[in-house]
Amino acid sequence: MKGTPVVTEMKVIPVAGYDSMLMSLSGAHAPWFTRNLVILKDNSGNVGIGEIHGGEYTCSVLKDCIPFVLGQPVGLYRKILDNINRGRFKSAEESDGEGIQSLDINKLKYVVKAEWAIECALLDLLGQHLDLPVCQLLGSGKQRDKIETLGYLFYVSDKNKVGAELPYIDEADSSDPWHRLRRTEMLTPERIVEQACVLQEKYGFKNFKLKGGVLAGSEEMKAVKALKKHFPEARINIDPNGAWSLNEAIELCLDTKNDLTYVEDPCGPEAGYSSREIMSEFKNATNMQVATNMIATDWRQFYHATLLKSVDIVLADPHFWGFDGSVRMAQLLNDWGLTWGCHSNNHYDITLTAFAHVAAAVPGTPTALDTHWIWQDGQNLLTDTPLIRDGYLEVPDKPGLGVTIDMDKVEAANKLYNQIPYKDRNDKAGMQYLIPDWKFDSTKPCLVR
């Protein structure tokens, strides 16, 4: 048979899993997180898989893409994606260019590129056909066998304060210390340090990131200082998602400069200026390294961020950029003396695998990889989930993604999805038990009202 195999089937399967009451600027994570899976089959008998953000909008977009994929040769995956981008109608909201510089979760579905899951599944099929891991098909090929990964720390609220209609999972009876801890309240510097210690024991993390935008900035910096005191050799950073004003960010970060390796999205839009302009002023005032996944989510935004010298580390999440775009960004950043990294949100182990392949293919020295997987660990959809050991995520070396999907677990996750009351991310519901009539405000940490 000449050429590559042809896609004969495409399924889009929405799934859900369980989450802790994690806190961020946007509120409290719900008891469930949702994702969309893409499963492709080709006429050689191979199966390719991909995973992307959840919700009905993204699920609908993926289903609209089916006619662009069926009957196409796997080797033409770039052309398939180009046809999707050219042929799919985009709403005015989706194309407004604002992105998520104010962390409006309702806009996240427009920043995420649903077709990323299709690209993932197509590359999985192509790698199997060529007998090569996906990372060998990206950029200049595989650069490393394992990926340095950081411990992603969160403030966690007390799930017992909410009503019965929000049944957060309880793992009090687990034999795993991390699984027990991750479902409990952690809102003090001492508890954040305890969280980091347990994570280091389980996964070997040597570096940590604290999700901020929850308490007053001065309180969160106490946790940063406590982490640095306990882990003096660790690289510590914080991500308040732009919750701080420019003046507050400057004051907080200058006071904690020796404890932070970099700060992620310290400031948001202010006084008629975009986040790109405000973060440029922050860098000028502090001379600190700045990372982002909020102000450079496409090439046009990146162009302006670069002109203003707003960022040093671009967290080019493949959910936003795709496999090819993420690696292309990494190549450009490496040539310019800047740094590539990868942001994440709640995800299954299919995304964990995909992140491993992308990060394995980027040049230079990427910053330690973000992953929420530690908060979902144990809810596997794969029979052979990649491991995080000694602070590194291991890259599968089998053809394609190098992993095998467990359809029984997928069916169970789909059943849960169909049972939960809402499909889109909802960070308000839990917050309104903690603070009556709570509303999102991009300039106020979620517990500061």
User: What stretches of 119-164 adopt beta strand conformation (E)?
Assistant: 146-148, 151-153
Close Cβ partners of 280 (under 8 Å, ≥ 6 residues apart): 308, 309, 310
Residue 310 burial class via C-beta count within 10 angstroms: exposed 0-12, middle 13-18, buried 19 and up: buried
Q: Are 443 and 211 in contact (CB under 8 A)?
A: no
Angle between helices 318-335 and 349-361 (to 10 degrees): 20
Q: Alpha carbon of 216 to those of 220, 239, 341: distances in Å?
A: 6, 13, 27
- What is each CA distance from 129 to 48, 63, 100, 136, 191, in whole angstroms? 11, 25, 38, 13, 48
Are the C-beta atoms of residues 340 and 330 closer than 8 Å to each other?
yes
Helical segments of 70-165, H only = 77-87, 105-111, 115-130
Chain centroid, CA 102 distance in Å:
17
SS3 content of the chain, % helix, strand, coil (to 5): 40, 20, 45
Q: How many CB atoms neighbour CB 232 within 10 A?
A: 9
**Catalytic amino acids?**
211, 343
Gap between the Cα atoms of 317 and 340, Å rounded: 10
* Dihedral (CA of 198, 202, 204, 205) sign: negative
Q: Which 3 state secondary structure label does DSSP give 111?
A: helix
